[in-house]
């Protein structure tokens, strides 16, 4: 049976794709907040093969807060907890092969399956964020805060005039009537995803922004003039398979369908279905010694980084050091448990000290436990593994106790499966610190650094140092979200 949206196509700038649509969704209660931007700035940010489009003599970026609903793979029904969520995107307008479309600089969503699938398989820059949209007294109150703490938006908007359908040649028509999204896959492979919807109903809008650094986080500065603001009740949308572009031809990509199927699978998993287990060929074993009796660390609960697995270099960890820089070196071998903790392994370990204001200093954002073991002297490319026992399958929120002299990025891998995105670790450096070496001892607890799906039973977690280094990693707290 033909979808009702497909009965109206005369408004489209080119014919419908020959392929079958694969996903449906609705974009609801949107604000279009458009800023004039220097074309040269944006042009340098685009991949080869895309042409930046201009209106009224300049390029534009749009900040668009809205709500997604009815998101689901054909032909399945909506799935509670998956099919509806807020989203905020930052976009500009481009063209390739005669097809005007949208290029995203960032997308924030309060849906970890969408963030995972969109980032990994569609090549769009998704961020997992805490978001909310509510309607009060005719205003749509909207908030967005990235879980890594790097950017956010808080404001409200409302329509202030009657609805209209934008006419060809108008700014509203130029910005809204676009029927494809461009993205960049691995190895700079350009891709296009086509959509179909009816013409956008638009209204003039009033917008009050209380906080916003989404553009700044994307490295974009705007002209010194007020933005153009519009509201739309929204449109229903059909999405077609992603296509890889190249050599003036298009090749249907397998990644797009896989991403969307993966999103569905992840959503189902979060409702209680099982997933992959501990890799069968893994040779590491849970840490144990005379004090810690061993066995996998338990989740829900606290996973100690210094209790990384036994197994040595290339199995339980990878380090660029040849010996432990903490135990037995910084902390002299004196027969004490903490000073000699794992001193015969190359991973640097140490512990918090509450004398001479070392780790109980006034610049720590949180007070760590005294004698807290941690992994330190970290460098990009290093990693360590921990075997855990998960009580029940589900999505877990992760907190991290750490210090970081210059910030950095880590990933948290489960059973050898690549994570959806790297985690930005906020620097704890403080310019007011008068003791240089103590910059490595400013402790912080980052809340909700990631939402991670864990299968029931035994799993292996791998912490990768992606960039930055100079981090002391104490523990990860896992609390169930589902």
Q: Determine the pLDDT at residue 2.
A: 85
Question: Does 257 lie in the same domain as 307?
Answer: no
| Cα distance between residue 123 and residue 120, in whole Å | 6
Lowest-confidence region among 48-57, 71-80, 162-171, 404-413 = 71-80
Judged against a pLDDT cut of 70, whether residue 134 lies above it is answered with: yes
pLDDT, one tens digit per residue, over 291-303 is: 998 899 999 999 9
Question: Does 444 lie in the same domain as 387?
Answer: yes
Backbone phi, psi, residue 467, to 5°? -155, 165
| Cα distance between residue 453 and residue 270, in whole Å | 7
Domain final position from 270, 305, 329? 270
Question: Does 221 lie in the same domain as 370?
Answer: no
**Helix 254-270 to helix 112-122 angle, to the nearest 10 degrees?**
160
Q: Determine the pLDDT at residue 250.
A: 45
Question: Does 319 lie in the same domain as 227?
Answer: no
Q: How far is CA 293 from the centre of its chain?
A: 36
Using pLDDT thresholds of 50, 70 and 90, give the confidence band for residue 246.
Answer: confident
Both tokens assigned to 412: 């948290």
Question: Does 183 lie in the same domain as 231?
Answer: yes
pLDDT, mean of residues 100-126: 89
| Cα distance between residue 127 and residue 119, in whole Å | 9
Residue ranges making up the domain that contains 122: 4-270
Query: What is the percentage of the chain residues whose pLDDT exceeds 90?
Result: 76
The overall average pLDDT reported for the chain is 90
Q: Determine the pLDDT at residue 264.
A: 44
Question: Does 124 lie in the same domain as 60?
Answer: yes
In 14-134, where does DSSP find H-type helix? 39-43, 112-122
Please, how many CA atoms are within 13 Å of residue 188, restricted to the half-sphere of its CB? 6
Using pLDDT thresholds of 50, 70 and 90, give the confidence band for residue 312.
Answer: very high
- Check: CB of residue 119 under 8 Å from CB of residue 420: yes
| Cα distance between residue 251 and residue 17, in whole Å | 13
282 occurs within a structural domain: no
Lowest-confidence region among 91-100, 279-288, 374-383 = 279-288
Question: Does 351 lie in the same domain as 253?
Answer: no
Lowest-confidence region among 153-157, 243-247, 363-367 = 243-247
- What DSSP state is assigned to residue 276? -
Question: Does 315 lie in the same domain as 197?
Answer: no
- What DSSP state is assigned to residue 82? T
Return the CATH number at 451: 2.60.120.260
- Check: CB of residue 79 under 8 Å from CB of residue 72: yes
Q: Determine the pLDDT at residue 294.
A: 82
Q: What length is written for the chain?
A: 482
Predicted structure pTM score: 0.58
461 occurs within a structural domain: yes
Peptide bond into 479 cis (omega under 30): no
Q: What is the DSSP string of 290-355?
A: SSS--SPEEESEEEEGGGPPBS-BTTTEE-S-SS-STBTTTB--SS-TTTTTTTTSSS-EEE---S
Return the CATH number at 33: 2.40.400.10
- Check: CB of residue 307 under 8 Å from CB of residue 372: no
Question: Does 13 lie in the same domain as 64?
Answer: yes
Question: Does 91 lie in the same domain as 235?
Answer: yes
| Cα distance between residue 433 and residue 362, in whole Å | 9
287 occurs within a structural domain: no
288 occurs within a structural domain: no
Judged against a pLDDT cut of 60, whether residue 257 lies above it is answered with: no
Q: Determine the pLDDT at residue 118.
A: 83
Question: Does 200 lie in the same domain as 107?
Answer: yes
Q: Determine the pLDDT at residue 482.
A: 53
Using pLDDT thresholds of 50, 70 and 90, give the confidence band for residue 420.
Answer: low
| Cα distance between residue 69 and residue 83, in whole Å | 6
Count the domains in the chain.
2
324 occurs within a structural domain: yes
Judged against a pLDDT cut of 80, whether residue 81 lies above it is answered with: no
Question: Does 315 lie in the same domain as 174?
Answer: no
| Cα distance between residue 129 and residue 112, in whole Å | 9
| Cα distance between residue 163 and residue 16, in whole Å | 27
Judged against a pLDDT cut of 80, whether residue 185 lies above it is answered with: yes
SS3 assignment, position 73:
strand
């Amino acid at each position: 049976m033909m979808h009702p949206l497909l009965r109206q196509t005369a408004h489209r700038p080119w014919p419908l794709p020959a392929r079958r649509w694969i996903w449906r969704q609705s974009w609801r209660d949107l604000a279009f907040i458009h800023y004039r931007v220097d074309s040269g700035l944006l042009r340098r940010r685009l991949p080869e093969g895309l042409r930046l489009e201009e209106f009224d003599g300049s390029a534009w970026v749009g900040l668009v807060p809205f709500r997604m609903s009815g998101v689901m793979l054909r032909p399945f029904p909506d799935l509670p907890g998956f099919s509806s969520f807020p989203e905020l995107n930052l976009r500009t307008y481009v063209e390739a092969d005669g097809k005007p479309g949208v290029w995203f600089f960032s997308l924030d969503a309060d849906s970890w399956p969408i963030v995972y699938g969109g980032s990994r398989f569609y090549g769009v820059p998704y961020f997992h964020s805490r978001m909310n949209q509510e309607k009060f007294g005719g205003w749509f109150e909207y908030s967005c805060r990235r879980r890594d703490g790097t950017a956010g938006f808080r404001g409200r908007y409302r329509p202030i005039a009657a609805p209209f359908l934008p006419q060809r040649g108008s700014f509203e028509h130029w910005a809204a009537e676009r029927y494809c999204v461009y993205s960049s896959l691995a190895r700079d492979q350009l891709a296009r995803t086509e959509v179909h919807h009816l013409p956008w109903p638009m209204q003039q809008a009033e917008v009050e922004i209380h906080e916003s650094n989404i553009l700044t986080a994307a490295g974009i500065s705007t002209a010194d003039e007020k933005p153009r603001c519009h509201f739309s009740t929204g449109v229903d949308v059909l999405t077609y398979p992603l296509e890889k572009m190249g050599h003036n031809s298009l090749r249907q990509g397998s990644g797009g369908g896989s991403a969307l199927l993966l999103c569905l699978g992840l959503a189902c998993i979060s409702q209680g279905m099982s997933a992959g287990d501990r890799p069968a060929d893994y040779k590491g074993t849970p840490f144990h010694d005379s004090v810690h009796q061993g066995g996998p660390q338990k989740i829900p609960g606290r996973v100690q980084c210094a209790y990384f697995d036994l197994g040595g270099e290339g199995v339980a960890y990878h380090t660029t050091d040849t010996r432990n820089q903490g135990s037995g070196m910084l902390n002299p071998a004196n027969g004490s448990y903490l000073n000699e903790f794992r001193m015969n392994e190359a991973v640097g370990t140490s512990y918090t000290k509450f004398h001479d204001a070392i780790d109980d200093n006034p610049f720590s954002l949180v007070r760590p436990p005294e004698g807290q073991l941690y992994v330190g002297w970290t460098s990009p490319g290093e990693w360590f593994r921990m075997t855990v026992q998960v009580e029940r399958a589900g999505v877990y929120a992760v907190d991290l106790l750490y210090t970081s002299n210059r910030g950095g990025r880590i990933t948290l891998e489960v059973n050898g499966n690549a994570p959806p995105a790297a985690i930005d670790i906020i620097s704890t450096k403080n310019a007011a610190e008068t003791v240089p070496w103590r910059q490595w001892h400013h402790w912080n607890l980052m809340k909700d650094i990631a939402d991670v799906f864990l299968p029931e039973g035994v799993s292996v977690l791998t912490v990768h140092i992606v960039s930055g280094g100079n981090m002391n990693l104490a523990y990860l707290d896992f609390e169930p979200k589902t």
